[in-house]
Amino acid sequence: MTHKLKILMVGGPDVDHRLELMHHLKSSFELAGVGSNRLLAGTFAEAGFDYHHFPMVRSFNPAADAVSMLALWVLFRREKPDIVHTYDTKPSVVGRLAARLAGVPVVIGTITGLGSLYVMDNRRIRVIRALYELTQKAANRVSDLTIFYNQDDASHFLQRKLIRSDKVAVVPGSGVSLERFSPAAVTEEEKNAARQELNILPDQIVVTMIARLVRSKGVFEFAEVARRVQAARPSIRFVLVGSEDPESMDGLSSDEVRSLQDHVLWIGPRQDIAQLLAISDMSMLPAKREGMPRALVEAAAMGLPLVASRVPGCSEVVQHGKNGFLVEPDDITSFVQAITQLADDPKLREAFGAASGQSAQTRFSLAAIGSTIHTIYERHAARQNVIPVESLVE
């Protein structure tokens, strides 16, 4: 391939989650990030990528959304990318529409998950959901491809006639770095430091949940499981890692956050996720619905057994009886039984953990995901004559 494709990765305030994938692809493509958080400019610069900011509000606001779309249109006209690849909910609407209007040759969107919008159900949510599907349908229509993290979400869009079948692909996530997330990547000194900081004894069983503090992630269920387990086994520690998200439609109040801490050690958002997983014995995610739960994928890469809800997304990572247990959502008793069984059976934890590690390597690694995305970019660029078709034969 003689022409190095210029690609803009567009997302919201956490577009830096695409940095590892960008690093994997940078030898083949010219990449830059586009996000709604001004503070990420330094993060991208340190990683060796250009970064562009655009204004965006998370709530439904047509006037603000029009401003976001105009800002992206101006950016795309100036930067002249070959491909715009959008992520997340609102960026995947305004970003794709702006890209097509700006004449970008290839427009790709990734729907990372349907989340709380398809978990909660009241009149207001139904109205928002209808508007969401209307805007997604418009964005899908102008796109060359829409990528879903799991088949359930793709099937929903197809059944609702929000997208054509020839414009659908399923790619399980953005990939996890096996250099960062592997048992061998964390030293004994780092493990000891993490245990000491959290006041965890070496022989204590640790159950870790990594998620934003919102209802749809199952944080209340996690706390209730902790309460019941600790009633009989007080030495088992439950650690919750993640930030508050008061702007979310299912975010927690300050009082609700405090109530979680009666039985759970909440340590807020962290950067040392690999170290925290290295001192954990299992990972739990009682979510109501997921796209592709990065927390479970990273835990799998660290060789941990997994306990999660039998819902879209989680079911893609957890193979029941092989690398963990799938439990019906809200079935607290079954979650307690699963956690207790793993706590009491070191050999089962070891077997499940080994299977998790193998699954992460073959299905969710940066090498596997990056290869798929690389092929998608080249094929769609060739279809739009951005690169010659013969460039694909190497």
Instruction: State pLDDT tens for residues 216-228.
Output: 999 999 999 999 9
Percent of the chain whose pLDDT exceeds 70 = 97
Rounded to an integer, what distance in angstroms lies between the CA atom of residue 112 and that of residue 293?
9
Structure tokens at 59: 């709530």
Structure tokens at 106: 């290839």
Residue 89 vs residue 358, higher pLDDT? 358
Check pLDDT > 60 for residue 125: yes
pLDDT (average), residues 174-192:
94
CA torsion, ordered 231, 233, 234, 240, to nearest 10 deg: -90
Rounded to an integer, what distance in angstroms lies between the CA atom of residue 59 and that of residue 90?
9
pLDDT score of 394: 44
What phi and psi values does residue 309 have, to the nearest 5 degrees?
A: -75, 145
pLDDT score of 284: 98
pLDDT score of 375: 96
What are the boundaries of each domain within the chain?
6-175+366-392, 183-363
Structure tokens at 203: 């022989």
pLDDT score of 388: 57
Q: What is the pTM of this model?
A: 0.89
Tens-place pLDDT, residues 18-64: 999 999 999 999 999 999 999 999 999 999 999 999 999 877 788 99
pLDDT score of 128: 84
Q: Do the domains at 6-175+366-392 and 183-363 have one common CATH topology?
A: yes
pLDDT score of 121: 77
Check pLDDT > 50 for residue 16: yes
Superfamily of domain 6-175+366-392: Glycogen Phosphorylase B; (3.40.50.2000)
pLDDT score of 12: 93
pLDDT score of 393: 42
Tens-place pLDDT, residues 126-144: 888 898 899 999 999 999 9
Describe the strand order of the beta sheet including 237-241 as a list of residue ranges.
265-266, 237-241, 206-210, 282-285, 306-309, 324-327
pLDDT score of 305: 98
Strand-pair category, 265-266 with 168-170: unpaired
CATH of domain 183-363: 3.40.50.2000
* Residue from 333, 281, 283, 277 nearest 308 by CA: 283
Tens-place pLDDT, residues 300-355: 999 999 999 999 999 999 999 999 999 999 899 999 999 999 999 999 999 999 99
pLDDT (average), residues 68-81:
97
Check pLDDT > 80 for residue 119: no
